[in-house]
Chains A and B, each alone.
Chain A
């Protein structure tokens, strides 16, 4: 019986794993469509969230079936497990969970080895390459140019670039400007926009960092780092 269940769960796991994602139940989708959240999402944001949730749901359901299959298979192979674990159901859940955990621990080791080969896993003293990825060299160069006593106006809305740039430019005073800079703006236009503003004054010179230009330097008419104050 447990062997049959193991096969059924394994088949279900394979079936679910083949899908791109698992959608939320229809009744829930219908309810949320009729009663939208007061803090509304744009369609793009909602689609992105639901896509991520669908993938996460598929992963969880696949893992659930796989763990149950492993638990049942363990019990079929070693019936005494039920006595030692304190019951059949406990043995299935515990055995399945442990098997899944061990497999995923093995996956973690493999991933760590891959990350280490790519330079994204290190025990060394310089983790900037790992923190900032392809932007590390640029950020290092910017750090050389901007004195620690100066202020940096950080322009853009990309949260990942926010974090890595703020990390790399520490301990300079960082002032956020949560706006994307139009790509067609020239250096002069950007400086002219920022120069009259009071933000960041009192730290020596002010510098502007545009995260859009950091992400795609070839697409912008201005550079990623420029000095605002003459």
Chain B
């Protein structure tokens, strides 16, 4: 019963996200069914989650009405108001997309099955059972304005100020499931993990050899299939997979915006070649104008969903918008996208402002103490560096990414000369964007662990790998995108 409810809920997300996928990301989602379903699931979850949070902030319990209504609306829109991108029909499959190797398809399907199985078959554990699942259960009965655990200071309630998008998404499944069932909610949570894998697959398959290699490595990350509570992305029922998904969508949207500012004189050289903006053909069929509009809407939606998923999501969204703004292209559009994200995240802010405040987990004022730096800097840095060899969670992917970043600048002078100045500038901006994101993320976690009110070494041990998990898909995609002097598959770059 619960499993069926979970399946129906995921189907509702996909239906609710289908029209947004067609309107905002049809060309990015590509022609393959798995890419379209993954993007629809991601955008549907973001839309449904934000609406549920809004309704909860207005005093309504998070029942099945919102996902069903949004799904119906989306299907009606698909029937009566086909988006502009969709009116041109599906984008033709590129060379890379058409040639998904059979072994890679089997690998992805196998990993998806094992990951879903280990996540769905095991109950919520750790933080999942401590506060994420209880919040979802509570929201299925009452709104966030009335939830006793959020407002009664003496009642059991953990992390009252945490954003409620994922609990609000899971609430209808709890509402329609028997009291002790966990399979349905865990299935819905697992679907978000599969959406992440699907979205990343589509993106990486457009990045040539490097993308295919990184996709194979990513798909075999131990934490996707591990049954160990601490090291699994699926078993414990955390919401970090959703955070990673929305962060990836936001980075893609920001890149989409940046690429919509590509010079008009540069054209694609053909299948497998690199677009003139210094990246692969992320949006192979859409025009610059529609790309910019879709990019703004997509960035706004993904940014709001990210802010509404985890507390650190707000910082992550700020980092992405801030880095893109500093890099310098499409600043006006970025400001609009940031404004849209803030607007859509207002219900989350309103709920957080209304709950009984918890004791602060961090004391930034203590950063002025020299003894604190002496005591914590070295253990925190070594703890964070240790993530590079957290092989039981991330395999050798972090080391591989570092290796590829270090190898990225080895284009020969001759190949650089073949690229026009605008392309070189775009490529440099992309590199700076990546560095700003990496530096910002590192700075954020460093400051967090230095100023934590927990024992720093223990705090790093319990949560740092989850923070890295948030960034890993987006970083993998950014690193996979080929250098303009190389071309997607090592082919020469041609510009008009």
- Spell out A's residues near B (CB within 8 Å): 28, 31-32, 35-41, 49, 52-53, 56-57, 59-61, 63-64, 67-68, 71, 84-87, 89-90, 93-94, 96-98, 100-102, 104-105, 108-109, 111-112, 115-116, 120-128, 130-131, 154, 159, 162-164, 166-168, 170-171, 173-176, 199-200
A125 contact from B154, B181, B225, B454, Cβ within 8 A = B181
Question: Which residue of chain A is the closest to B138 with respect to CB atoms?
Answer: A171
Judged by a CB distance under 8 angstroms, whether B365 is at the interface is no
Interface size class of B (residues with CB under 8 A): 35 or more
Contact B392 A60 (CB under 8 A): yes
12 interchain pairs, CB-CB under 8 A: A60-B390, A89-B403, A96-B396, A100-B395, A101-B221, A112-B117, A124-B181, A127-B123, A131-B182, A167-B124, A171-B138, A175-B154
Interface assignment of B84: CB less than 8 Å from any CB of chain A: no
B90 contacts the other chain (CB 8 A): no
Cβ-based interface call for B382 (8 A) = yes
Q: Residue B405 at the A interface, CB < 8 A?
A: no
Contact B213 A32 (CB under 8 A): no
The reply to whether B222 and A101 contact each other, CB–CB distance below 8 Å, is yes
Q: Is the CB–CB distance between B397 and A35 below 8 Å?
A: no
Q: Which B residues are CB-close (under 8 A) to A52?
A: 461
Compute how far the CA of A84 lies from the CA of B378 in the bound complex, rounded to whole angstroms: 40
Which one of A36, A56, A125, A163 lies within 8 Å of B375 (CB-CB)? A36
Query: Contact: B400 with A37, CB < 8 Å?
Result: no
With a cutoff of 8 Å between Cβ atoms, the chain A residues found around residue B183 in the complex are 122-125, 127
Determine whether the beta carbon of A170 is less than 8 Å from that of B391.
Answer: no
| One of A39, A59, A109, A170 near B455 (C-beta < 8 A) | A39
* CB under 8 Å from chain A, chain B span 388-419: 389-392, 395-397, 399-400, 403-404, 407
- CB contact under 8 A between A67 and B121, given known A97-B397, A111-B227, A131-B182: no
Are B134 and A38 in contact, CB atoms less than 8 angstroms apart? no
Interface of B, helix, strand, loop or mixed by DSSP: helix
Interface presence of B351 (CB below 8 A): no
Q: Are B134 and A97 in contact (CB under 8 A)?
A: no
A38-B372, A101-B221 known; A32 vs B379 contact (CB < 8 Å) = yes
**Contacting residue for A100 out of B124, B137, B391, CB 8 A:** B391
Which residue on B lies nearest to A176, using beta carbons?
Answer: B156
User: A193 vs B326: C-alpha distance in the bound complex, in angstroms?
Assistant: 61
Known contacts A85-B209, A97-B220, A174-B156: does B129 contact A163 (CB below 8 Å)? yes
CA distance A99 to B222 in the complex (A): 10
Partner of B137, one of A84, A130, A171, A174: A171
- Tally the A-B contacts, defined by beta carbons under 8 Å: 195
CA distance A166 to B148 in the complex (A): 14
Contact A115 B379 (CB under 8 A): no
Chain A residues with CB under 8 A of B138: 171
Chain A residues touching B, majority SS: helix
Task: Report the Cα distance A162→B129, complex, angstroms.
Answer: 10
Contact residues, B132-158 vs A (CB, 8 A): 133-134, 137-138, 141, 148, 154-156
Kindly list chain A residues whose C-beta atoms are within 8 Å of the C-beta of B134. 166-167, 170
B400/A90 in contact, CB under 8 A: yes
Against A, the Cβ 8 Å flags (1 = close, 0 = not) of B158-199 are 000000000000000000011111110000000000000000
Is B226's beta carbon under 8 Å from chain A? Answer: yes
Most chain B beta-carbon contacts within 10 A, residue among A52, A64, A175: A64
C-alpha gap A89/B406 in the complex (Å) = 12
Q: A49-B457, A125-B2, A125-B180 are in contact. Are A170 and B227 (CB under 8 A)?
A: no
Nearest CB in chain A: distance from B399 CB, A: 6
Contact for B156 among A39, A109, A175, CB less than 8 A:
A175
Q: How near does chain B come to A70, taking the closest CB pair, in angstroms?
A: 10
Bound together, the chains give a CA A165 to CA B148 distance in angstroms of 18
Q: B392 to nearest A CB, angstroms?
A: 5
Q: A86-B210, A105-B114, A116-B121 are in contact. Are A159 and B130 (CB under 8 A)?
A: yes
Instruction: Check B209 against A166 for contact (C-beta < 8 Å).
Output: no
Residue in B121, B179, B181, B392 whose beta carbon sits within 8 Å of that of A121 in the complex: B121
Q: Does B110 contact A (CB under 8 A)?
A: yes
* Residues in A neighbouring B372, C-beta threshold 8 A: 38
| Interface membership of B57, Cβ < 8 A | no
A104-B226, A123-B3, A170-B137 known; A38 vs B400 contact (CB < 8 Å): no
Q: How far is the CA of A121 from the CA of B371 in the complex (A)?
A: 48
Decide if A53 touches B155 in the complex (CB within 8 Å).
no
